Structure 1
Amino acid sequence: MSDKGFKYSILASGSTGNSFYLETAQKRILVDAGLTGKKITSLLAEIDRKPEDLDAILVTHEHSDHIKGVGVLARKYNLDVYANENTWKIMDERNMIGKLDVAQKHVFERGKTLTFGDVDIESFGVSHDAIDPQFYRFMKDDKSFVMLTDTGYVSDRMAGLIENADGYLIESNHDIEILRSGAYPWSLKQRILSDKGHLSNEDGAQTMIRTIGNRTKKIYLGHLSKENNIKELAHMTMENNLAKADFGVGTEMKVFDTSPDQALPLTNI
């Protein structure tokens, strides 16, 4: 591949499992592996990639829809795994990913930037009911891509950290009315709607209005709930809000859907 920029694929995004793939000329990285090792392997095959070619897995937080396959893949393919200290502590205490060799375990603290081969990765904290959740901005050759799901709200500070990226994976977890009238127990509804829960379709759209800039070309809607959302509704909410705010959707900028079980094509940025 060209040494310029990077390629990425959203392998899976949803309440049932999440995984993101990024490659540069020097490195191949997974962010989260929230499905079985077997399923991640088949998703990588959809973009003509193999787990044995990976260099590392970055972990955002310890919820099972983000780490289910981490241990299996790391042991089988001898991969380095990066997470912050608190996330390591809880994963180890609760034996969430099984035993790894000490040499495979690396600390990547929230608020730090890691230079990984030829790509810079900036971590930033989010507001979610995990021990110390963090997401990432990838930067190379004046291009950047931001992953932001699993947060109950977006502070001004967070919005400032992620502004004007070329591409975003942004949470559109639920439609508030569908969630409120749905079958979930009230305690779970409260958790999802709280500041430590998930962004609604409307929240995700408002976050994008606050953060996108003239560089932004691609917005991917992520972590949709199977029970509390409809893909078309999430898409329409994002496009309508952006259009109302005078962003040229469909011309300079496009909105894309993601899938919980099908990899999106490998894309250059």
Structure 2
Amino acid sequence: MRLCSIASGSSGNCIYVGSDHTHLLVDTGISKKRIDEGLHTLGIKGEELSGILITHEHSDHIQGLGVFSRKYGIPVYATKGTLKGIMEYRSLGKMPEGLLHEIQTDTDFLLGDLRVHPFAISHDAYEPSGYRIACGEKTVAVATDLGIYDAYTVENLKNLDAVLLEANHDIHMLEVGPYPYPLKRRVMGDKGHLSNELSGQLLCDILHDKLQHVILGHLSKENNYAELAYETVKLEVTVGDNPYRGEDIPIMVAGRDAVSEAVTV
């Protein structure tokens, strides 16, 4: 299996997950041109995709969905609430009959040789979800846009080989930054985004010896930067109640505008 961030951040998100035989995208929050360019670096063509998994209906996760999915006729999978939000998105355009497919959290479904497990997340959207995706004995997950996490979240992120995990903001930068107060409250709220510290604490709860790759994603342009997210998460692992140190874990940070290294498990 391979996991790669084509784009990850407050301005647009698109993640590739695939096996030798089945290729998926999680979210299409960037232009068709950028998605195609990202797939090209992976040696994949748009028409080779088996599906698009949508986490929720915010524009930074679906702004390229209509154009891209129509061009290649790619089926789209999302929860009932997310599909409602997608259909309300003004820039979506008319979707061909049969392209949108409703799924349910905590109910697995198969796409090719990949088993997809959607799980609920806490965010200010209709019915947002993260995704745990397995091929044989290998499993990866994408978990961003988490206001908070709990035992249910941890359970869905256990025993992974690789994970793309949100590290959205530095709390101090957010507090003193340019955002208006209501937006600051939203980002820090239970249906907002995970701070660097909380990202590190969640990582502590899911660490195990076989976790090969951690990609930090969905960084805020205004309230975070890559080095700070990386060092904060590493520190949380080191000081956390677990047998690991930050330097024991292979951590990378996904860029907003650059395709990440494709990790293979």
- Band of TM-score, shorter chain: over 0.9
* Whole-angstrom CA distance in 1 between matches of 2:263 and 2:178: 38
Aligned pairs for 1:92-241 (under 5 A) are: 92-241=87-236
Partner of 1:9 in structure 2?
4
Match of 2:76 among 81, 86, 106: 81
Deviant stretches of 4+, over 4 Å: none
How far the C-alpha of 1:65 sits from its partner, in A, is: 0.5
- In the other structure, the counterpart of 1:65 is 60
Q: Deviations over 1:53-85 (max 9, x none)?
A: 212111110001000111101111111111111
Structure 1 Cα separation of the partners of residues 51 and 226 of structure 2: 31
1:10 partner SS: strand
The 8 Å contact of residues 47 and 263 in structure 1, kept in 2 or not, is answered as: no
Aligned equivalent of 1:263, options 252, 259, 262: 259
Aligned to 1:247: 244
Shift of 1:24: 1.5
Cα-to-partner distance string for 1:149-186 (whole Å, 9 max, x where unaligned): 10110011111121121111111000000000011100
* Secondary structure of the corresponding residue to residue 219 of structure 1: strand
Mapped to 2, the partners of 1:211 and 1:217 lie a distance apart of 12
CA contact 1:44–1:263 (8 Å) conserved in 2: no
Indicate the SS of the match to 1:103: coil
Amino acid of the structure 1 residue aligned with 2:150: S
Q: CA deviation at 1:36?
A: 0.9
The residue type paired with residue 223 of structure 1 is H
User: How much identity, in percent, do the aligned residues show?
Assistant: 36
> Which TM-score applies when normalising by structure 2?
0.95
116-125 or 88-97, larger mean C-alpha shift? 88-97
TM-score scaled by structure 1? 0.94
* Corresponding position: 1:51 with 2:36: no
TM-align CA RMSD: 1.3
User: Of residues 27, 36, 40 in structure 2, which corresponds to 1:41?
Assistant: 36
Report the CA distance between 1:249 and its aligned residue. Answer: 3.8
Task: Provide the C-alpha distance between the structure 1 equivalents of 2:182 and 2:198, rounded to a whole number of angstroms.
Answer: 21
Give the counterpart letter for 1:259 in structure 2.
G
CA contact (8 A) 1:164 1:214 kept: no
| Alignment CA distance shift 1:82-1:96 (3 Å) | farther
AA at the equivalent of 1:247: Y
